[in-house]
Amino acid sequence: MELEKLRHGTELIKRGFAKMQKGGVIMDVTTPDQARIAEEAGAVAVMALQAVPADIRKAGGVARMADPQIIADIIDTVTIPVMAKARIGHFVEAEILQALGVDMVDESEVLTPADNKYHIDKTDFTVPFVCGARNLGEALRRINEGAAMIRTKGEAGTGDVSEAVKHMKQILGEVRALKGMSREEMTRIAREIEAPVELVLETAQMQRLPVVNFAAGGVATPADAALMMRLGADGVFVGSGIFKAEIPEKMAVAIVEAVNNYDNPGVLADISKGIGAGMKGISVDTIPQDQVLQTRGW
């Protein structure tokens, strides 16, 4: 077989990668040691970062792509896929991450946006992208730009799951509402939510987002992870929730097991015992408006 005939970076390959992550937990890590703990616990992928969202929030200032050295070291350490974050609209950071061999780029509101009008044209890339969304319009705009995976934005770095719940219910509710609508009605909805009509029609027909849909932003305990799975998430991102917990090793294993047993309260009770305290967290209501991350993105 000639290798010239291989087609790379197709829609099927990018969306297919996201499908392999389903039912899994993707964990934020900042060092090779943390990456090893995540892999050992059963994470399906790690998100390589300079600092977890809780620390980014505390530090303030401009948050950028992680040091490529950190990302390269983490890539060398684990066999599971490694993801990393680029600033919204910063296509050069994304190109650097692709050159490093990162398996998926998160165009993330957790970092300070580099463009306050446009997101990255993700169809230009071989590497697949995941993007945050709070509602169906936002999700479909990102998919139209080439995102192969969507995650709820939630409110990162808080340990407060309420915003992730809100965004997941919002998206799934909007998808359900499309059921039984006429083409004419869906065309009007597409205009209202500023999304391409073809994607609205496809979503209505499939009765789900056309790409994998994870929960993220505030998941801090096994019960939080199971809650998001019960609400219909395809899998879960855990940011600060693991390595800001009292005993990260135990929290990591417990959250992985909770995602596999999300519909069994008895097992969840056992899983949640004796794993130490979760991250301290902050209630979303107490965050000043100018420090809210989820409103970044257009």
In this structure, what DSSP letter does residue 1 have? Answer: -
Interface residue with other proteins, options 92, 101, 173, 205 (CB under 8 A): 101
Interface residue with other proteins, options 256, 258, 275, 293 (CB under 8 A): 256
Interface residue with other proteins, options 60, 62, 69, 79 (CB under 8 A): 79
Are 64 and 112 in contact by the 8 Å Cβ rule? The answer is yes
Selected range binding other proteins among 40-48, 65-73, 175-183, 218-226, rule: CB under 8 A: 40-48
| Token pair belonging to 166 | 């809100």
Q: From residue 229, how far is each of 96, 108, 235, 275 by CA, in Å?
A: 33, 22, 7, 20
Interaction between residue 250 and other proteins (CB under 8 A):
no
Q: From residue 171, how far is each of 156, 177, 203, 223, 260 by CA, in Å?
A: 18, 10, 11, 21, 23
Selected range binding other proteins among 58-66, 108-116, 120-128, 172-180, rule: CB under 8 A: 120-128
Are 97 and 105 in contact by the 8 Å Cβ rule? The answer is yes
Give dist(CA 245, CA 224) in Å, integer. Answer: 14
Give dist(CA 211, CA 180) in Å, integer. Answer: 21
Three-state DSSP state, 220: coil
The residues assigned a catalytic role are 85
Interface residue with other proteins, options 9, 68, 210, 232 (CB under 8 A): 9
Cβ of residue 124: shortest distance to other proteins, in angstroms? 13
In this structure, what DSSP letter does residue 115 have? Answer: -
Report the site for other proteins in 124-183 (rule: CB under 8 A): 126-128
**Which residues have a Cβ under 8 Å from the Cβ of 240 and sit 6 or more positions away?**
28, 52, 53, 54, 55, 156, 157, 159, 220, 279
Interface residue with other proteins, options 27, 35, 44, 84 (CB under 8 A): 44
How many residues of this chain interact with other proteins, rule: CB under 8 A? 39
Interaction between residue 257 and other proteins (CB under 8 A):
yes
Interface residue with other proteins, options 48, 70, 104, 238 (CB under 8 A): 104
- Based on CB atoms, which residue is closest to other proteins, 43 or 293? 43
Give dist(CA 40, CA 114) in Å, integer. Answer: 35
Cβ of residue 20: shortest distance to other proteins, in angstroms? 5
Selected range binding other proteins among 6-14, 52-60, 112-120, 239-247, rule: CB under 8 A: 6-14
Which residues are at the interface with other proteins (CB under 8 A)?
1, 3, 5-10, 12-13, 16-17, 19-24, 39-40, 42-45, 78-81, 98, 101, 103-104, 126-128, 256-257, 260-261
